[in-house]
Amino acid sequence: AVIAHACRADDVVARLGGDEFVVLLPKTDQAVAEEIIARIEKLASKEKVGTMELSISFGFETKLDKDEDIQQVFKKAEDYMYRRKLTESLGMRNKTVGMVIETLFDKYQKEMLHSERVSKLSAELG
C-alpha cells in the first residue's frame, strides 16, 4: 500500500517475488523517479512492524531509447538497488541493535546499570 500511495495513476506496481516489487514509471525522467522514491521513503518511514521501522531499498534506471533492451534496463536498476542495499544494511543493523538494547534496558533496569558500570570500567582499563 505504501508504494501504491506514492505512485501516480499511470504507474504500474507489481510484486516480483517475496519482498521485491517493480514499479514502472511511464514517461518519467530521473528527477521525477527520484521524487517518487522520496515519497515512498517518506511514507515508509511512518510505517512500523511492531517496533521495527519498515526498510525499503530502491534501484532505478531510465530507459531513454525505445530500442534499448528492457532486460538490460532492469538489470541496471537491480544492480543499483543491491549497491544501495549494501551501504544501507550497516545502518539498519545498528538501528536494530540499538532498539534491542533500548527494549532490554526499558524492561530490565539492572541490565542498563550493569552495562554502564562495565563500560566505565572498560574505559578506565584502557
Residue with cell 537491480: 78
pLDDT of residue 84: 82
| Residue-wise pLDDT tens digits, 10-46 | 999 998 887 888 899 998 999 999 999 999 989 988 8
Three-state secondary structure call for residue 48: strand
Q: Name the average pLDDT for the chain.
A: 86
Contact yes or no for 33/25 (Cβ under 8 A): yes
Q: What pTM was estimated for this model as a whole?
A: 0.63
E-strand stretches of the chain: 12-17, 20-24, 48-49, 52-53
Alpha helix segments (H runs only) across 55-69: none
CB atoms inside a 10 Å sphere around CB 10: 10
List, in order of start, the domains of the chain with CATH numbers. 2-93 (3.30.70.270)
Query: Backbone phi, then psi, for 57, in 5-degree steps?
Result: -110, 140
H or E element: which one contains 33? helix 30-45
Given a cut of 80, whether residue 96 has pLDDT beyond it is no
